Amino acid sequence: MEKAVIFEKIGKNFGNTQALENVSFSINEREIFGLIGPDGAGKTTLMRILATLYLPDRGKAYLQGENVVDNYRRIRKKIGYMPGEFSLYPDLTVEENLKFFASVFNTTIQENYDLIKGLYSHIRPFSSRKAGDLSGGMKQKLALSCALIHRPKVLILDEPNTGVDAVSRDELWKMLHYLKGEGLTILVSTPYMDEAEKCDRIALMQKGKVMSINSPDKIVSEFGHQLYKIECENIYKALNCLKESPQTGDAYLFGQSIHFVPARENFIPDNLRNNLSQQGIENCIIEPVQPDIEDCFIDLMKT
């Protein structure tokens, strides 16, 4: 399978802060690849290196076989980049922004309209409105339209769903899968663990390092522990008790419940329920649960 992107031992420092350390992986052609991790994981820095906005201190990056440092002018014609913050011209209208970005790449809205019509149809009624006056979801659609207007080979999206509503998030992912079908390779970052399942493969990142790379299903299948969900009335008191219990391998809040990893394989839920009851925590529901990407991320952070 041909590689659209290759990172080879990428390192980057900002002063004494190491933003990336020895990052190596590749992205296949026509793949949706996700960078998953919290703020400070190094996702944005890695994307900006690929987008020729940062120089790596160590290592090399390639896009469709070309070194992104040596051939940055050609690389910029091959990529569509949508940064995390809204970066279009707020005083220009929707249509003016789109025409401007088309002109930068010597193309027109009409020439590549088929690629963006699914997005632009939503914002076309507001074509005369200034970009700065759009809602979060509409700004997202305009920014993505501008990133696509020259029909790039690789689309780079830095946390595109931050600050937008659930409907817009869902619409974006449908659009990304459509673009994949049109032949684009997509690199997308997100702090939302549930979005990992929408990618073909993901890299779990923390503090500038890649902890794991694989398909979401395979990463989940490698979770090597029993996992239980605990629901009770005083969840914070229960968590503190669990952290002190010799029966606990790990315990952490997970929404309105606790996810619990027993210290031993011969774990008996009734024994733990009785222990919690003796400490004044009644009506506990303890049941096995399947892990997801967030459980795997938490587990990898502690290994």
Looking at residues 29-39, what average pLDDT do you find? 95
- pLDDT for 84 equals 87
Of 205, 223, 157, 282, which is closest to residue 24 (Cα–Cα)?
A: 205
- pLDDT for 240 equals 95
Output the CA angle 111-115-118, nearest 5 degrees. 125
β-sheet bridge partners, residue 203: 35, 213
Residue 79: pLDDT above 90?
yes
Two structure tokens written together for 240: 């503190």
Looking at residues 105-124, what average pLDDT do you find? 89
Looking at residues 14-41, what average pLDDT do you find? 96
Looking at residues 107-119, what average pLDDT do you find? 89
- pLDDT for 121 equals 86
More confident residue, 140 or 47: 47
Looking at residues 96-123, what average pLDDT do you find? 90
Q: How confident is the model at residue 179 (pLDDT cuts 50, 70, 90)?
A: very high
Q: How confident is the model at residue 194 (pLDDT cuts 50, 70, 90)?
A: confident
Q: How confident is the model at residue 25 (pLDDT cuts 50, 70, 90)?
A: very high
Two structure tokens written together for 49: 């290196």
- pLDDT for 166 equals 84
Mean pLDDT of the chain: 94
Q: How confident is the model at residue 119 (pLDDT cuts 50, 70, 90)?
A: confident
Percent of the chain with pLDDT strictly greater than 90: 81
Percent of the chain with pLDDT strictly greater than 70: 100
Q: Which of 104-113, 151-160, 164-173, 204-213 has the lowest mean pLDDT?
A: 164-173
Q: How confident is the model at residue 158 (pLDDT cuts 50, 70, 90)?
A: very high
CB 41 within 8 A of CB 55: no
Task: Kindly write down the DSSP assignment for every residue of the chain, as one continuous string.
Answer: --EEEEEEEEEEEETTEEEEEEEEEEEETT-EEEEE--TTSSHHHHHHHHTTSS--SEEEEEETTEETTTTHHHHHHHEEEE-SS--S-TTSBHHHHHHHHHHHTT--TTTTHHHHHHHHHHHGGGTTSBGGGS-HHHHHHHHHHHHHTT--SEEEEESTTTT--HHHHHHHHHHHHHHHHTT-EEEEEES-GGGGGGSSEEEEEETTEEEEEE-HHHHHHT--S--EEEE-S-HHHHHHHHHH-TTEEEEEEETTEEEEEESSTT--HHHHHHHHHHTT--S-EEEE----HHHHHHHHHT-
Task: Quick: pLDDT tens for 62-75.
Answer: 999 999 999 999 99
